[in-house]
Amino acid sequence: MTAPLIIAVPKGRILDEALPLLARAGIEPEAEFHDKKSRALRFATNREGMSIIRVRAFDVATFVAHGAAQVGIVGSDVIEEFDYSQIYAPVDLDIGHCRLSVAQPADALDEDEAAMSHVRVATKYPHLTRRHYEARGIQAECVKLNGAMELAPSLGLSRRIVDLVSSGATLKANGLVETSIIMQISARLIVNRAALKMRASELVPMIEAFRAAVEVRDAAA
């Protein structure tokens, strides 16, 4: 009997856009997956031996990097923050578009970052934040938060934040202004490299099915 094949998907906002792509790639979760009241975390699919697990966005990368799941769908922000060598990201799914940006209070925009040697930043992305500032010769001291970064400046936790921005509405509602863009983000299909070698006959066609699903969706748009 072949080992089960596990696909990790984030439970957050990418999921709604990812489900039609999964369906076009021929993968549909059982009905219970759509039941918001269900406490189950692992679901069967229409494909024998293939299950879907629903986890937090950052954990998708961790499950796939360690081979606990063979395949996943996750934002490129998460892939780059962890930089796991075991993750291969062959398909840009062209969903979950946003950007990772530095933001500051509107009344602090006269601070000249170029003249600074040290900054304090509240963020969920300490690795990407340090990398961004290191490239500018600035040492970033990161305060790790898991959400609601936008509160940090007004409450004196840090003068700056590094967070995801899409419409800009959250920054605006909290009196912040985007001062630089660190990276553009979209969701990717990710695959565990060792699994890809050992289970190529299952995973290569799956990668191709996702590639085709993106093409068909874009052609229909």
Ligand X SMILES: O=P(O)(O)OC[C@H]1O[C@H](OP(=O)(O)OP(=O)(O)O)[C@H](O)[C@@H]1O
Residue 136, classed as helix, strand or coil, is coil
207 interacts with, out of ligand ATP, ligand X, none, CB within 5 to 8 A per kind: none
Q: Which of these segments, 17-25, 105-113, 125-133, 164-172, binds ligand X (CB under 6 A)?
A: 164-172
Residue 184 found at the interface with ligand ATP (CB under 6 A):
no
Residues 63-82 that bind ligand ATP (CB under 6 A): 75, 77-78
The C-alpha atoms of residue 185 and residue 164 are separated, in whole angstroms, by 9
163 interacts with, out of ligand ATP, ligand X, none, CB within 5 to 8 A per kind: ligand X
Interior CA angle at 176 toward 172 and 178, to 5°?
Answer: 95
Cβ-proximal residues to 129 (8 Å cutoff; 6+ apart), any chain: 121, 123, 140, 142, 162, 182
Q: Which of these segments, 83-91, 163-171, 183-191, 195-203, binds ligand X (CB under 6 A)?
A: 163-171
The C-alpha atoms of residue 194 and residue 141 are separated, in whole angstroms, by 35
58 interacts with, out of ligand X, ligand ATP, none, CB within 5 to 8 A per kind: ligand ATP
Residue 126 found at the interface with ligand ATP (CB under 6 A):
no
Interior CA angle at 113 toward 77 and 108, to 5°?
Answer: 95
> CA 123 → CA 21, 144, 147, 162, distances in Å?
30, 5, 8, 5
Residue 185 found at the interface with ligand ATP (CB under 6 A):
yes
Q: Which two tokens stand for residue 2?
A: 């072949």
- Closest approach of ligand ATP to the CB of residue 121, in Å: 18
- Closest approach of ligand ATP to the CB of residue 202, in Å: 26
Cβ-proximal residues to 220 (8 Å cutoff; 6+ apart), any chain: none
- Closest approach of ligand X to the CB of residue 183, in Å: 14
Residue type, 32: E
Residue 10 found at the interface with ligand ATP (CB under 6 A):
yes
Return residues touching ligand ATP (CB under 6 A).
10-14, 56-58, 75, 77-78, 96-98, 147, 164, 166, 185
